[in-house]
Amino acid sequence: MMYFCKKLHQSLMGLVALLLISNSLHAQQTSTNHEGWYQVELIVFARKEDSSQEHWPSNIKLRYPGDWVELKDPATSEVKIDLTKEAFYRLPASERQLNTQAQKLERNGRFELLFHSAWRQIVTNKKSSKAILISGGPISGQHQALEGSIRVSVATYLELQTNLWFSQFDLNVGQEVTQSWPEIPLRPNYSAAGGSALSLDSDLELDQALAKENQQGINANVSPNTSAKTDGTAPEYITRQIILLQQERDMRSGEVHYIDHPVLGVIVQITPYPPTPTTAQ
Q: What is the pLDDT along the chain (281 residues), one digit of tens a residue?
A: 554 444 544 554 554 444 444 444 343 333 346 899 999 999 999 999 765 556 899 999 999 999 999 999 999 999 999 999 999 999 999 999 999 999 999 999 999 999 999 999 999 999 999 999 999 999 999 999 999 999 999 999 999 999 999 999 999 988 888 889 999 999 999 986 543 444 444 444 445 554 544 444 444 443 445 454 545 577 899 999 999 999 999 999 999 999 999 999 999 999 999 865 544 44
CB neighbour list of residue 132: distance below 8 Å, 6 or more residues apart = 68, 69, 70, 71, 88, 121, 149, 150, 151, 152
The 3-state DSSP class for residue 205 equals helix
Q: What φ, ψ does residue 6 adopt, rounded to 5°?
A: -65, -45
Q: How far apart are CA 247 and CA 261, in angstroms?
A: 10
User: How much is the pLDDT for 76?
Assistant: 93
Record the pTM: 0.75
Parse the chain into domains and list their residue ranges: 33-272
Cβ neighbours, 10 Å, residue 185: 19
Give the amino acid at 172. N
DSSP 99: H
Per-residue model confidence (pLDDT) at position 50: 65
